[in-house]
Amino acid sequence: MAESGEKTVRPKRIFINQIDSFTGKNIGKYLSGCIVGATFEQPAEEGEEDDNLSINDDTPTKQKEGLFQIVGTLLNPNCTKLNFPVETYTVSRREELLGQLLECDIIVYNITEDISQLDEASWAVSALHTEIDNFENPKMFILISTILTWARSKPIDPDDPEIPFTEDDYRRRKCHMNFKDHLAVEKLVIKLGKSNKGKFSTYVVASGLPYGAEEGILHTFFREAWLGETPALQVFGDGSNYIPLIHINDLAGVVQNIADQRPRTHYLVAVDDSVHTLEEIVKCISISLGPGKIQKVPKENAFLRKELKQLDVDYLLVNLRMEAVFLKENFNINWVTQTGLVENVELVIKEFKQTRGLLPIRICILGPPAVGKTTAADLICKHYKLHHIKIKDVVTEAIEKLERLVKSSEEEEEEEGEEPTENWQELLDTVKENMDQNGGRLDDTYVIRFMREKLKSMPCQNQGFVLDGYPKTYEQAKELFNSEEGEEEEESRGKAPPFDKTITPDFVFSLDASDDFLKNRVINLPESVVVGTHYAQDRFLRSLATFRDLNTEDETVLNYFDEAEIHPLHIDVTKDDDPYYKDVVKQICKAVGESRNYGLTAEELAEQELKAAEESLACEAERKAELERKEAEEAAEKVARWEEWNRRLDEVKRQERELLEAQSVPLRNYLMKNVMPTLMQGLNECCKVRPDDPVDFLAEYIFRNNPQTE
């Protein structure tokens, strides 16, 4: 039986449009791990792990025998390469795309995210319908549409508007004004599937608002809650509208069942069993992930949110009650969250964090006073967008919180009894009394309590934190980080109690420096920085001595982390001359790794680009100025060289002239003594006689009257 069954199973090729979109990617990833016909088998026992539910697994899918083979087009051709599709297409002509569709057994078109896909889906189902006679095997077309095509449907019973719509009511549906084209595509798909059901069957899935994984439309609330930058999450309108939901993996399960079973019903509603209002959904996210509060704002405010498109706003403001009767009665779905988002919010949040890589980074920086813990911690917090935890700030914040609680309780009516108010007031009085008795300091018991509350807070749990110089001792670390659950049992066995992984640092760094280095560093600090702080000479020396005493014993705070197998990394700060500790921060970042936070926002990216452009312009201006300076220097040097050359040339000429004059003196003397007198007499005689040839006459005269001849 098994062998014959295996022979009948063959891989089926499924086409999904825009396979890199939220819906396409998660449905494709789910189906790529499904065996053809698996929905005919009994569902897995409760508690068993199903590989199909692991949508966060990014490891490449191995193509086993009988698995669905996923292909599809890309919304963004430059996106990160997906590892689950067999092929992805970037087509420019529809004739080319039709050829790809004809090679597939099942064609899935999602029109819930991009309105440009409405026209393509209509063309695809029509083109396939015209090719029915050429089909080698039966084909199936599945249109994933939206429950917004039901948005204006009249209640089934006007006297009882809470009766939900089901698949049987789909002919009565009235669409949202912005979704008339979606309704037209739905009708076309249903119509073309009636002509030859044996060769070409068509289905329409009216999907509730999909959530899960990295989240879709609800991502704006998850992101805002996780970041914790606002005091309350916004609810648009009064929040009383009911929004049908479905987990993206459960929607994929619906597609899987349709592909396997070819149901007789061709219009299906895909929603979970929940009946939640917008207010309940947002409040649940806020309490479980964010500030814990909501704020109702006018509906129009939704259009002011840049991250929300018109489609998203329409989803969030829809008011429908729907029930997926056919799914529950006929399909074999391994539901992820059948009871809805609110009841399974912890699972959904865990999935959201893992899929987006939003894991907290917990760091502890230790070291002697004045070693630069706060400087390094501040830089690390800015780099990773973490929360800087300092004892003084935590205590101050805790006292202010107690004072607010006491004050608000006194002003409000005591609806929940008087005990909480008395406890807050009693705790506040005890803390202040303890601080008065200890000269402004607080006992470890209270510090550890407030510190645990801070580390357990949503911001620290979401993004993470950097502990600045705390804990200082082994006992403080043990009291702060040890898990409260099972502590007595572990101690009774003689073992150290386990530590609380949600607040225990993942990375511990010990900044090391000699006493002389620290003293010199404090001495060189400005007076304005030292006054009133622990850097004052007496206080600093006492603090340094205390630190050295505490860290010479066997049970030091570093020993605690070693025992917990969180081995501290020692960094010698004396080797870093930069006051901003660039080398120290570089070593810490190398050990911690990449950020696990959201990337830069659009505003931060714009600011960064503007800053980079300004720096580029400044560098270019500086380069031009430097070039002009060098050219001016070269021109001045050239002029100076030219002037020097001319000066030297004049000097050479003068020297040559003087030399010639000096060399001509003997000759002149000789001529004046021996030649010139006779010559002058000859000239005078020539002037008197005026011969026909003066030259011959003069020559003859000089020859006759040559003194030497005489």
- 155-173 tens-digit pLDDT: 988 888 889 999 999 899 9
Q: Give the per-residue pLDDT at 59.
A: 44
In angstroms, the CA 86 to CA 103 distance is 13
In angstroms, the CA 609 to CA 617 distance is 12
Within 8 A by CB and 6+ apart from 98, the residues are 124, 127, 128, 131
Work out the pLDDT band at 534, boundaries 50, 70, 90: low
In angstroms, the CA 146 to CA 141 distance is 16
Q: Give the per-residue pLDDT at 76.
A: 85
Lookup: tokens for 376: 């390094």
Locate CATH 3.40.50.300 in the chain: 361-592
- pTM metric for this prediction: 0.77
Q: Give the per-residue pLDDT at 619.
A: 87
* Residue-averaged pLDDT of the chain: 86
**Which string of DSSP letters, residue by residue, matches 541-571?**
HHHHHHHHHHTSSSS-HHHHHHHTT-PPEEE
Q: Give the per-residue pLDDT at 490.
A: 46
Q: Which of 5-19, 220-234, 290-304 has the lowest mean pLDDT?
A: 5-19
- Please state the rounded mean pLDDT for residues 465-485: 88
In the chain, the percentage of residues whose pLDDT exceeds 70 is 88
- Please state the rounded mean pLDDT for residues 394-407: 89
Provide the 8-state DSSP code for 354.
Answer: H
For residue 138, whether the previous peptide bond is cis, meaning omega lies within 30 degrees of 0, is no
Q: Give the per-residue pLDDT at 287.
A: 94
Q: Which of 161-175, 474-488, 564-578 has the lowest mean pLDDT?
A: 474-488
In angstroms, the CA 655 to CA 670 distance is 24
Where is pLDDT greater, at 607 or 339? Answer: 339
Locate CATH 3.40.50.720 in the chain: 9-356
Tell me the three state secondary structure of residue 206: strand
Work out the pLDDT band at 606, boundaries 50, 70, 90: confident
Q: Give the per-residue pLDDT at 529.
A: 63
Query: Look-up: residue for tokens 């295996």?
Result: 6
Residue 93: burial class (beta carbons within 10 Å; 0-12, 13-18, 19+): exposed
Within 8 A by CB and 6+ apart from 451, the residues are 389, 391, 394, 470, 480
Work out the pLDDT band at 11, boundaries 50, 70, 90: confident
Cβ atoms of residues 299 and 200 within 8 Å: no
Residue 607, pLDDT above cutoff 80: no
Q: Give the per-residue pLDDT at 492.
A: 42
The CATH class, in words, for 361-592 is: alpha beta
Q: Which of 30-44, 503-517, 592-606, 687-701 has the lowest mean pLDDT?
A: 592-606
* Strand 106-110 with 233-236, pairing: unpaired
In angstroms, the CA 123 to CA 109 distance is 11
Residue 552, pLDDT above cutoff 90: no
In angstroms, the CA 143 to CA 173 distance is 17
**Which string of DSSP letters, residue by residue, matches 568-597?**
PEEEEGGG---TT-HHHHHHHHHHH-S--S
CA torsion angle for 77, 81, 86, 92 (degrees, to 10)?
Answer: 10
Where is pLDDT greater, at 457 or 679? Answer: 457
Q: Give the per-residue pLDDT at 587.
A: 93
Summarize pLDDT for 78-98 with one digit per residue, the tens.
877 889 999 998 877 888 999
For the domain 9-356, what is the CATH code? Answer: 3.40.50.720
Q: Give the per-residue pLDDT at 708.
A: 64
- Please state the rounded mean pLDDT for residues 238-254: 95
Summarize pLDDT for 104-135 with one digit per residue, the tens.
999 999 999 999 999 999 999 999 999 999 89
Distance of CA 643 to the CA centre of its chain: 64
The kind and range of the H/E element at 270 are: strand 267-270
Q: Give the per-residue pLDDT at 352.
A: 93
- Please state the rounded mean pLDDT for residues 560-582: 87
SS3 per residue for 289-342: HCCCCEEEECHHHHHHCCCCCHHHHHHHHCCCCECCHHHHHHCCCCCCCCCCCC
Summarize pLDDT for 689-703 with one digit per residue, the tens.
888 888 888 888 888
